[in-house]
């Protein structure tokens, strides 16, 4: 539990000065997308990049599950936390999420560290295309598949828990429209590196906080993976205040000026009110 005086002190710190915000899966739970490591969540092992490229059977298993998950995930809508952040308009918003909800809420300056699940890339010709188009192609190639597995649970990276080996074995995976090559979601899998230019842009924004008296705010990330934790470490090393908002412990708790065990939407909505942030005009509607 977070004490009221600690919550108030953290809000006071965040109420003035520049902000850089790092978000994780916990921010999207209020949109109906489960997180990876929240309280009560069972451990799971997502597919590694090396496994994905190991052969057709692995890709068939991945795409069968991902097809079901993204068919529902694509309809998720930004929640009050996303909208509050868009209104706050921090100097940079760094997200570990691939769901695209920050952009749909109207966020102006976003680095999607791990890419966006709404895009697909060909591993042969590198053409980037629409996930919605591929979804329609998969639906046509696998009639009745979605209806037969309507009850499966969705994971935060857009796949599902599907252990039906017979169903997966019959799943048809289309190739690239341009060259018939292997298609992969345009996201960073475990075992891949985040592109260096994205990392450097984030480092530059975090480094700028030390010179301007700003604060790094972490919302909804357990900081378990280094792709997010490194920015917290960078800020703390420079003496920049860090506020971590997350249900449950994080790897950055010992580096935080304040650690708040509260909901992201609650804190961010309160912060938007404190900073007098107005709603963002022109936020995109759900697809």
* Interatomic CA distance for residues 139 and 67, integer angstroms: 8
* Cβ proximity of 238 and 213 under 8 Å: no
* Interatomic CA distance for residues 233 and 28, integer angstroms: 24
Q: CA of 158: how far to CAs of 32, 154, 215, in Å? A: 12, 7, 31
Fill in the DSSP letter of residue 17: S
264 is in an annotated binding site: no
125 is in an annotated binding site: yes
Buried b (16+ CB within 10 A) or exposed e, 3-40: eeeebeebbebbeeebbbbbbbbbbbbbbebebbbbee
Secondary structure class of 164 (helix, strand, coil)? coil
179 is in an annotated binding site: yes
Q: How buried is 57 (Cβ within 10 angstroms: 0-12 exposed, 13-18 middle, 19+ buried)?
A: exposed
The residues that are catalytic are 114
122 is in an annotated binding site: yes
Overall residue count recorded for the chain in this entry: 287
Other CB atoms within a 10 A radius of the CB of residue 209 amount to 24
Q: How buried is 82 (Cβ within 10 angstroms: 0-12 exposed, 13-18 middle, 19+ buried)?
A: buried
Per the structure block, which two tokens stand in for 277?
A: 């942030």
Residue ranges for the binding site for Zn(2+)?
A: 122, 125, 176, 179
Residue ranges for the binding site?
A: 122, 125, 176, 179
């Amino acid at each position: 539990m977070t004490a009221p005086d600690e919550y108030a002190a953290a809000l006071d710190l965040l109420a003035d000065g520049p902000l850089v915000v790092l978000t994780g899966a916990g921010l999207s739970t209020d949109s109906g997308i489960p997180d990876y490591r929240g309280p009560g969540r069972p451990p799971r092992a997502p597919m590694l990049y090396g496994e994905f490229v190991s052969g057709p059977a692995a890709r068939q298993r991945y795409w069968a599950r991902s097809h079901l998950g993204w068919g529902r995930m694509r309809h998720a809508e930004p929640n009050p936390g996303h909208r509050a952040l868009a209104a706050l308009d921090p100097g940079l918003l760094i997200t570990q999420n691939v769901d695209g909800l920050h952009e749909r809420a109207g966020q102006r300056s976003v680095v999607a560290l791990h890419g966006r699940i709404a895009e697909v890339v060909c591993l042969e010709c590198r053409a980037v295309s629409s996930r919605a188009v591929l979804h329609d192609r998969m639906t046509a190639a696998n009639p009745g598949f979605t209806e037969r597995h309507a009850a499966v649970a969705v994971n935060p990276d857009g796949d599902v828990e599907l252990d039906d080996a017979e169903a997966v074995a019959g799943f048809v995976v289309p190739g690239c429209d341009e060259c018939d090559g292997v298609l992969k979601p345009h996201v960073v899998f475990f075992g891949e590196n985040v592109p260096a230019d994205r990392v450097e842009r984030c480092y530059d924004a975090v480094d700028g906080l030390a010179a301007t008296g700003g604060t790094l705010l972490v919302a909804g990330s357990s900081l378990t993976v280094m792709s997010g934790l490194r920015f917290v470490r960078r800020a703390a090393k420079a003496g920049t205040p860090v506020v971590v908002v997350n249900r449950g412990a994080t790897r950055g708790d010992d580096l935080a000026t304040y650690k708040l065990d509260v909901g992201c939407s609650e804190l961010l909505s309160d912060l938007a009110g404190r900073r007098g942030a107005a709603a963002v005009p022109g936020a995109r509607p759900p697809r």
